[in-house]
Structure 1
Amino acid sequence: MKLIDLNRDGAIGANCTYLQIGELKVIIDSGLHPKKAGREATPDFSKIRGVHLDLIIITHCHLDHIGSLPVLMREHPEAPVVMTTSSAMLIERMLHNSANVMTRQKEEANIPEYPLFTHEEIDRLKKRFTGIPFGQAKRVQSGGNKDAITFILHPAGHVAGAAGVEIQHKRRKIFITGDVLFDNQRTLNGAKFPVDRFDTLIMETTRGNTERPPEKSRANEVVRLVDTINETIQRGGSCLIPVFALGRQQEVLSIIHDARKFRRLVDCPIYASGLGMDLADYLDEISRKTKHANFNRGIIKELKIKPAPRKLNPGEDPKQNALYIISSGMLVERTPSYVLASGLIGNANNTICFVGYCDPSTPGGEILASRSGDTYLFKAANVKAKIKARVEKFELSGHADREELLQYAVQCNPRSIVLTHGEPASRAWFMEQLTEALPKAKITDPVPLQEYQI
């Protein structure tokens, strides 16, 4: 098997992997780098220019996995695109939102290459999207000969529709984890992956540099989050929970709803808005039609959620003694959570609660690495503030703990392992641990754009 990581920078960003399995040419995901702009934010497709793609497989609908898909489809008009039934219900909405964001960024940040695709193009391309139920085997044959692969999509937890990909070619078995969470969430059951003697395992490594203390179980972290919100409100402050629009926002809303239902949450105004609230309708529909999610949008009405103020002034604390559940999860510049954080962070009564992965170089990651009393510059908001608010990190990530992934790899006992979707330190941890646990396996941490025979 030939493999090329088309993500220009490796790590976590514009996720895109090219596989040649026998005569079949397959792409897994086609993302957009959240910290870059223009063509530099896309994978480097030059390595597959002129290649006839037999298949594009999408593991899930986060933009670091689908954000450049229309660009790839434009360059490869012959390639069918497959994903789970749930992802097929989400993908158009996610891409249309991305087109809106890029159009706004073109004006605000003067990025001439944006938007990389239009709403009209998304509408034209959608006929090539095919949703496939979990567990259903599909055969794909190469256009020029009789060579073929069979693939099956398996539930990966993480977010609605997320899949691990099992590929069979003759006697060879390959498994791609995609982004995976084995724990059950309020809105979604955990991953159900096959445990088999795979020849090759291509696995994510997101949390390789994060050790979860034994006392920080998911259930304990939910309790701690609710307690932190209560303490913040009771001392007269406001609590900001930055969230990813797909997955995290609906999960946090479900946690808050359960807490209020059982009278464990103090009474306070709750503000939430943005794409995540729109996606609540989609999660509700997925829950009803596929049974692969557990979310009822009726909880939004029961919680009496108010839309976040449209006009948030940088550096200004609204002083609403409220709970805010808004994106982005990493406080990416110019997002509502970024602007609100610039106003909340200077008040010791307030709390910022991070509930998911934060890239170290994003504002969220930088604030988490800072200390109380440090000065932080919100560059895009032109606000410099002393960190007085309480800043907390809760282990409620949508990604599996490193020990769980390591255990899964050992159970599969593959001949070769390829590390993906992780910062260098995270990949280094897995490289060391896997080398010790599976001394006979060939472990590869691919250099971007370099071809490997696996």
Structure 2
Amino acid sequence: MKLTDLNRDGGIGANSLFIQLGDLNILLDCGLHPKRVGRVATPDLKALRGVTLDLIIITHCHLDHIGSLPVVMREHPNAPVIMTTSSRMLVERMLHNSANVMLRQKEEDNIPDYPLFTHDDIDRCGKRLVGLPFGHAKHFRGAKDEIEVIFHPAGHVAGAAAVEIHHKHRAIFFTGDVLFENQRTLPGAKFPAGHFDTLVMETTRGTTERPLGKERVNEVARLISSINDTIQRGGSYLIPVFALGRMQELFSVLHDARKFGRLVECPIYTGGLGVDLADYFDDIARKTKHVQFNRNILKDLKVKPTPRKIATGEDQKQNAIYIVSSGMMVERTPSYAFASGLLGHARNTIAFVGYCDPDTPGGQLLATKPGDDFLFAAANVKVKVKAHVERFEMSGHADREELLEFAVQTSARSVVLTHGDPAARAWFAQQLATQMPAARVLDPVPLQTYQV
């Protein structure tokens, strides 16, 4: 197998792997980098010029994995695209939202490359997108070679899949983004045990050791306690979340807590794509049984819409919970605007419940000490950090020890490290060298082709 990482920066970003198996050319994911704008936010697709793509495989519907899909589909108009049944139900809605965001960014920031694709492009893509159930073996044939593809539940988010590929006598396993723990809306990953010749694995949490007592169930209880404390002292509680997956998870957590009398009575505000996706989760739950979610949760919680325009730098003073995107508090998002008003007041709390890139405003805030100044540059607001800033271990990615245990039991001859910062990959490389000394461990340099 030949493998090329098309993510220009490596790490976590515009995730995309070009795989060559015999005479078959396969693209695994085609994302958009959340910290880049314009054409440089896409994978570097030059390696695909003059190549006939035989298959595009999508692991899940977060934009760092699908955000450039219409671009590569436009350039390769005959390549079929497969994903899980649940992802097929989500993918077009996610892409249409991305097109709207790019149109707004083009207008606000004068980005000439945007939009990278239009709503019409997405509509034209639709007939080429195929959803497959988990565990279903699908064969694809080239001029000479044939592969078998099987999707396995990867936890992480609705529809997320690990990908098992068989080529001749060889078995290759791509973990995709994976979470082994159960969430309120989604069971954890169910991977096949036993040997694979090659393992391609994510490494997101390679630098994060989960402390004793920080198990998910304990962190959920601590979150509810933190919310109660904040509301009872007259503050507001902001939870920045990803619209796909984490927002619906938080709705379920709050619903359970309120049902059993553990959550104080207070208004809950939310808005945007995540509310729309709650309806999609309800449909997926009914049609596939791989998600546990009911849209009536929002009605039971009496969720209210956030204001259409959020004034930056102003405390809302609503004594309420705000569950809004983006999860990393990226500039010009609702969570960024709300935070700029809440951060300067000691009665409030801002709580992060997922991965935060250190270079994003969310990551920067987590690294800022209480009492220090924090600049919301895009809002032209500077405040002293007086609010409580909390972090809860509720990541959608597997703990490093769990991933390492899975890797070791595969007895793979080759392990390829993906989707992680350099330090995270380095931890895995060191551990694998010790526990799998016979395996070749590869941390691919972007745009270099490797024989694996």
TM-score bracket, shorter-length normalisation: over 0.9
Aligned residue number for residue 415 of structure 2:
417
- 1:397-416 equivalences in 2 (<5 Å): 397-416=395-414
Aligned residue number for residue 359 of structure 1:
357
The one-letter code matched in structure 1 to 2:210 is R
- Out of 301, 304, 307, the residue aligned to residue 303 of structure 1 is 301
Deviations 1:408-445 (A, max 9, x none): 00111100000000011111110111111100000000
- 1:35-434 equivalences in 2 (<5 Å): 35-142=35-142, 145-434=143-432
Distance in 2 separating the partners of 1:368 and 1:23: 48
Distance in 1 separating the partners of 2:197 and 2:344: 53
Distance in 2 separating the partners of 1:151 and 1:7: 23
Distance in 2 separating the partners of 1:212 and 1:408: 17
Distance in 1 separating the partners of 2:63 and 2:374: 28
The one-letter code matched in structure 2 to 1:378 is F
Distance in 2 separating the partners of 1:79 and 1:311: 41
Distance in 1 separating the partners of 2:210 and 2:423: 16
Aligned residue number for residue 11 of structure 1:
11
Cα offset for 1:317?
Answer: 0.4
Distance in 2 separating the partners of 1:385 and 1:287: 43
Distance in 2 separating the partners of 1:445 and 1:350: 42
Cα offset for 1:146?
Answer: 2.7
Deviations 1:280-334 (A, max 9, x none): 0000000000001000010100000000111211110010000000000000000
Distance in 1 separating the partners of 2:194 and 2:141: 24
SS in 1 for 2:120: helix
Aligned residue number for residue 448 of structure 1:
446
Distance in 2 separating the partners of 1:314 and 1:273: 17
Distance in 1 separating the partners of 2:446 and 2:7: 6
Distance in 2 separating the partners of 1:76 and 1:374: 51
Distance in 1 separating the partners of 2:309 and 2:128: 39
TM (norm. structure 2) is 1.00
Distance in 1 separating the partners of 2:254 and 2:180: 22
- 1:25-44 equivalences in 2 (<5 Å): 25-44=25-44
Distance in 1 separating the partners of 2:200 and 2:145: 22
The one-letter code matched in structure 2 to 1:254 is S
The one-letter code matched in structure 2 to 1:121 is D
The one-letter code matched in structure 2 to 1:131 is G
SS in 1 for 2:102: helix
Once superposed, what is the RMSD of the aligned Cα atoms?
A: 0.5
Cα offset for 1:78?
Answer: 1.4
Distance in 1 separating the partners of 2:129 and 2:254: 35
Distance in 1 separating the partners of 2:390 and 2:352: 6
The one-letter code matched in structure 2 to 1:447 is V
SS in 2 for 1:27: strand
Cα offset for 1:196?
Answer: 2.1
Distance in 2 separating the partners of 1:332 and 1:428: 27
Distance in 2 separating the partners of 1:289 and 1:447: 41
SS in 1 for 2:304: coil
Number of matched pairs: 452
Unaligned runs of 5+ in 1: none
SS in 2 for 1:353: strand
Distance in 2 separating the partners of 1:81 and 1:196: 28
Deviations 1:161-181 (A, max 9, x none): 000000000100000000000
The one-letter code matched in structure 2 to 1:409 is A
Distance in 2 separating the partners of 1:311 and 1:71: 32
Distance in 1 separating the partners of 2:422 and 2:273: 31
Distance in 2 separating the partners of 1:7 and 1:71: 15
Distance in 2 separating the partners of 1:223 and 1:111: 44
| Identity within the alignment, % | 70
Cα offset for 1:62?
Answer: 0.2
Distance in 1 separating the partners of 2:373 and 2:109: 25
Distance in 2 separating the partners of 1:412 and 1:373: 49
Distance in 1 separating the partners of 2:201 and 2:334: 33
SS in 1 for 2:223: helix
Cα offset for 1:60?
Answer: 0.1
Distance in 2 separating the partners of 1:94 and 1:186: 22
Distance in 2 separating the partners of 1:206 and 1:66: 18
Distance in 1 separating the partners of 2:6 and 2:172: 19
Distance in 2 separating the partners of 1:47 and 1:437: 34
The one-letter code matched in structure 1 to 2:439 is A
Unaligned runs of 5+ in 2: none
